Structure 1
């Protein structure tokens, strides 16, 4: 995890932070990274006839910021012996100001307890989903009752087998492997890797063949073999990345599953009682409007564990520093 040098921790009011903040402090310390703890207070208006910016609302806003800053400073005081922790209070809408802070200060990791709205069967609220979609750096959303140390980590990887070597996808997979293996080693957790494949043209092949069953089976086996070969190359890449000794200690489990990733990955996370899923959220870069894939969004909406979501280099956030 030494790749992180500038970490942002989002400490929303009314959410317990002791365990999550302790993890962020420990990560910053082990990575020799800077750590900033931030919260966002809403814009305050003194009343319907007094819009924001007037003398009364300005004073109310200043008081709210000062009060929240004092609370954050109290929150981080027990950890200051580990190194200087910066505190900042922003004003505006949570996800917008957090993403702007990431862009402005070049944070390379965002850690935030999940909103966990009680009125829906979903761990991540709308603000969390906005951050997952649009934040340019890796986003680590934690369960409010997260464990001090993870026991099971699931890393989801994908391959583009139809085109020339895809350096963007390779880079994304490398980040996922590095983060998942590093956390598994530091937490003494088991590491499970999953790649979901399918044979989308099976019915077409069957419809055109003289022997539909034989042709269909041959096509499916050919697709499975292609994905298995790519998965095996990733296995070798992970061994080279972390070293044989660490690899033999981890003994990562590789799971090649046929089906739809949007169904298989949440089901597997549930079956394994996974504490953390590490996954990519987009495979194309440089397009400001393309910030998350439909499959990734469907997966995230179903997960009930912490998630570390990664975007490839070159991702462009649609959020501007000022509007």
Structure 2
């Protein structure tokens, strides 16, 4: 994400989307990006046809109300000096958004993270989760209680040296850093970087390795020092401005738990991370680190995809 030129916002007036609307306005006004508003009329339940005489044209009534709401929102954005257009689709929300992204170059999709008390409630089975899994461009899910103005953005990078599927995700580290730095500059947020680490086969070594406690402590100390050095070097290489020690967090533990706890500890407003979509049944059942993080963190989240997603 080098520059935002076109943002798509999925509107859903049935829930509190004030925070998402503010976020969209801030980004459009700061970057000059043009905006597309989209809302999606759900397909009529066939059972309604049995009651058409008494209920009347239910689908028509719903469509008219949604169109009016969308036009009102469009006028609000236009009054804020934003170049905007709106469109009303029929079907499933995430499918309509993805189709739009395929038809017109889109730099960012913004969606409300719903009003649940946690992102586990908000994302599981939701439109946002479908978009995070399947949308080819970056997706920002804005939590309804998002602080205004946002003050801190955190980039979650992964500098471990595994290969294969996870290595593909780690190739996104530069984009994660650049995107977090870009958004931090546009919205005047302080940039933080988090790197989680664990000793390879750590659990096995502790349980069956027969290592004395002092040896294990030395191994852990050396590993942390190595990751601190790697992280500092990588950030210096890819960021325009240096980070202070208080902005760089190299923490031992499982990635999802570390990232979630650090975002809470440092009062992060927006978390930037990468994911590699998994398709089919495996993707639905297994998910990935990004989805683990979504289930335990409580800030807004920007999820990036590989360039060839």
Q: TM-score, normalised by structure 1?
A: 0.78
Over 3 Å counting, the alpha-carbon distance change for 1:201 and 1:176 in structure 2 is: same
1:1-323 correspondence to structure 2 within 5 Å: 3-45=3-45, 47=47, 60-81=58-79, 82-117=81-116, 122-127=121-126, 128-163=128-163, 168-169=168-169, 171-202=171-202, 212=212, 216-217=216-217, 219-239=219-239, 242=240, 247=241, 253-282=247-276, 288-289=279-280, 293-315=287-309
User: Any gaps of 5 or more consecutive residues in structure 1?
Assistant: 316-323
In the TM superposition, residue 59 of structure 1 has moved relative to its aligned partner by 5.6
**Cα separation, 2, equivalents of 1:248 and 1:236:** 6
Per-residue CA distance 1:42-101 (angstroms, 9 max, x = gap): 1114645559xx9x9996434432331221111121321424311111111222322332
Give the paired residue count: 302
Determine helix, strand or coil for the equivalent of 1:87: strand
**Cα separation, 1, equivalents of 2:245 and 2:183:** 14
**Cα separation, 2, equivalents of 1:73 and 1:236:** 46
Does the aligned pair in 1 maintain the 2:155–2:271 contact within 8 Å?
A: yes
Over 3 Å counting, the alpha-carbon distance change for 1:27 and 1:215 in structure 2 is: same
Over 3 Å counting, the alpha-carbon distance change for 1:121 and 1:158 in structure 2 is: closer
**Cα separation, 2, equivalents of 1:232 and 1:45:** 56
**Cα separation, 2, equivalents of 1:67 and 1:15:** 15
Does the aligned pair in 2 maintain the 1:2–1:31 contact within 8 Å?
A: no
**Cα separation, 2, equivalents of 1:135 and 1:205:** 40
**Cα separation, 2, equivalents of 1:28 and 1:262:** 31
In the TM superposition, residue 162 of structure 1 has moved relative to its aligned partner by 4.1
In the TM superposition, residue 35 of structure 1 has moved relative to its aligned partner by 0.8
Over 3 Å counting, the alpha-carbon distance change for 1:58 and 1:233 in structure 2 is: farther
Does the aligned pair in 1 maintain the 2:16–2:114 contact within 8 Å?
A: no
**Cα separation, 1, equivalents of 2:19 and 2:218:** 52
Q: Kindly report the root-mean-square deviation, in angstroms, between the aligned alpha carbons of the 2 structures.
A: 3.5
Does the aligned pair in 2 maintain the 1:6–1:109 contact within 8 Å?
A: yes
Determine helix, strand or coil for the equivalent of 1:106: coil
Determine helix, strand or coil for the equivalent of 2:20: helix
Q: TM-score, normalised by structure 2?
A: 0.82
User: Any gaps of 5 or more consecutive residues in structure 2?
Assistant: none
